[in-house]
Chain A
Amino acid sequence: MSGLKLRNVKKSFGAVDVIKGVDLDIEDKQFVVFVGPSGCGKSTLLRMIAGLEQISSGDLFIGDKRMNEVDPAHRGIAMVFQSYALYPHMTVRENMGFALKFAGRPKEEIAKRVDEAARILELGKLLDRRPGQLSGGQRQRVAIGRAIVRHPDVFLFDEPLSNLDAELRVHMRIEIARLHKELNTTIIYVTHDQVEAMTLADKIVVLRDGIIEQAGSPLELYDDPDNLFVAGFIGSPKMNLLTGTAEAGGIRLADFPEHLVPSPVAVPAGTAVTVGIRPEHFDPTGSAALDTSVEIIEHLGGETYAYARGAGSNLLTIATDNNRTLKTGDRYQARFNPASLLVFGKDGKRLR
């Protein structure tokens, strides 16, 4: 049983604090994704779990055992690296069996486990090739195979799809999701791509500047973000964020001063706020409206996005319910339901 517990985990390189106190519970068999912009500490946190970076303070438990000082080889983990980190002079078979040789496994067992991994990953025909003779996607599968043969309790993935092209990335994303079902183990996965996080995770951990901004299921984070950062980070296209001031009876948006937008939460008059609305929350049947002029139209076939502005310079992204007749320069009344608005205070915290 291999859940993980992180208790006030910190990491500093000299005077620079990279991880500033992380508390996190990961349940057994959960697929957890660490996501955040580059430099947020997500890879460092993963490497601390792997044992490749020392933990400056705090406790790390894998299962029930404190692992802070345990050698990486004995933590029951396996890791897949962004660069694949394959041994270039060994064949695929040797790459996958190499670790088992040093674990003192008998030859037959090594062969059996390698064949099993090759079957799961469809690598059978490539077993006698070297990494240099494989494509990027195949190398990534070998790297995953090298992790699988060790039968770890926890898989760690460090941006495994970043070096692949867009099409292959989608394909491998599905492969990894399938693999999680088939292997039924705990996976911790680091990415900067929020789409990967949304599609793969049971639980997303959003990190910024070495602290957890919010952790929860993908839809929790999407529907109910705790702060401006998470609201802006999760979701594609991004949530529209508009500044305004609360008044009696609603919020006056800086870009749309002619309207008073009804607020879904009670905000004291005079408070500076930021209002968030997702592009798809614009709804032609909504009770409130913003008057905009359309600057750019994006036809995706199934959906049409309008990029439009009010009095200010900020462009609103609006899902137009696939309004294909819309043209650049048109006036467009973006209607929405006030209940779908999210309101954030001056400090970026959500007002509920």
Chain B
Amino acid sequence: MAQSGLARNEHLSGWLFVMPALVLLGLFMIYPILWSLWMSFQVGRGMAFSFGGFTNIMRLTQDPVFLRALTNTLTFLAIQVPIMLVLALLFANALNDSKLWGRGLFRTAIFLPCVTSLVAYSVVFRSMFAQDGVINQFLMFAHIIASPIPWMADPFWSKVVIISAITWRWTGYNMIFYLAAMQNIDRSIYEAAKIDGVPAWARFWYITVPMLKPVILFTTVISTIGTLQLFDEPNLIPSTPGAPSDSTLTLSLYIYNLSFKFMPSFGYAATVSYVIVVMVGILTLIQFLAARERRT
């Protein structure tokens, strides 16, 4: 069927409106994504590179630093995301109670970290977790430890610091999503449950959590993506990025090092980037499958 002049006109103005955004997206998003895919098959140093086929992928399997970064990133992911999301859910549930005194203040306080200056908070964390920092002083004062913990010198404790830092920074952000979703739940559902004698823990577990499922899925996906791209904290909090001895080195940090700190190996860096892309894809798919409604 032939389009009328009016419909064509509307189509044209529609395209005109989205064109600036499309051009910018194409130039700064889609083109680099495709270019880096092509780059990931190139070998060579600096600007002198040539097509290497699967050489870079083979190199991944034999690169101990990459494997280290991969293990670290997955460790951060597996420990930090569940802790943060459970905390966010508990905070949201507590701060959703209309009888709680000062809940506006608490909400702000918990949300504030994610809008705080990154560098400022990293400096504060570095000083707090220094050998003679307030954390050690407090723990010794409270007789929880006998001698200072070498927070940033020990491979285990340095991971703990990084995990604490990102949890501190992003818990409030996720909490806001949960709070918003909780406020959409009809209050009378809880009242009905109360009259029905459903205890508080069961109201949370059997009513709140299932009703928040779409939001929990959403926060899980964005937190997974965020943690897989973790860069800022391991770059800023340790004395040197990734220290001690690469125990806080993440994939993003390694990509940065490969591109800008070592002799530039753009092709290999692009390959490592695509490792993150593939992991995000697989994990997100798994999460969607796990959260899918079971049809009876």
Contacts and interface: CB of A to CB of B under 8 A. Distances in A.
A98 B195 CA distance: 12
A266 B179 CA distance: 66
B134 to A, nearest CB: 43
A209 B199 CA distance: 35
B194 to A, nearest CB: 5
A150 interface: yes
B198 A72 contact: no
Nearest to A82: B188
B211 interface: yes
Interface string A87-114: 1110100000011001100000000000
Interface string B185-229: 010110111111111001000110011010000000000000000
Given A89-B210, A102-B202, A128-B296, A73 B195 contact: yes
A78 interface: yes
B195 A102 contact: no
Nearest to A100: B196
A99 B196 CA distance: 5
A146 B196 contact: yes
A81 interface: yes
Given A89-B211, A102-B202, A73 B188 contact: no
A83 interface: yes
Interface residues of B, number: 19
Name A's interface SS: loop
A81 B191 contact: yes
Name B's interface SS: helix
Given A85-B186, A85-B188, A87-B207, A52 B195 contact: yes
Contact of B188 (A81, A98, A146): A81
Contacts of B206: 87, 98
Most chain A CB within 10 A, of B193, B196, B198, B202, is at: B196
A102 B195 CA distance: 12
Contacts of B189: 85-87
A51 B198 contact: no
A104 B210 CA distance: 22
A83 B188 CA distance: 7
Contact of B195 (A78, A82, A88, A128): A78
Contacts of A128: 296
A198 interface: no
A115 to B, nearest CB: 18
A50 to B, nearest CB: 6
Contacts of A98: 193, 196, 198, 206
Nearest to A103: B197
A211 interface: no
Contacts of A103: 197
Contacts of A289: none
- Nearest 6 A/B pairs, CB to CB: A73-B197, A99-B196, A85-B188, A85-B192, A89-B210, A81-B188
Interface of A: 50-52, 72-74, 77-79, 81-83, 85-89, 91, 98-99, 102-103, 128, 146, 150
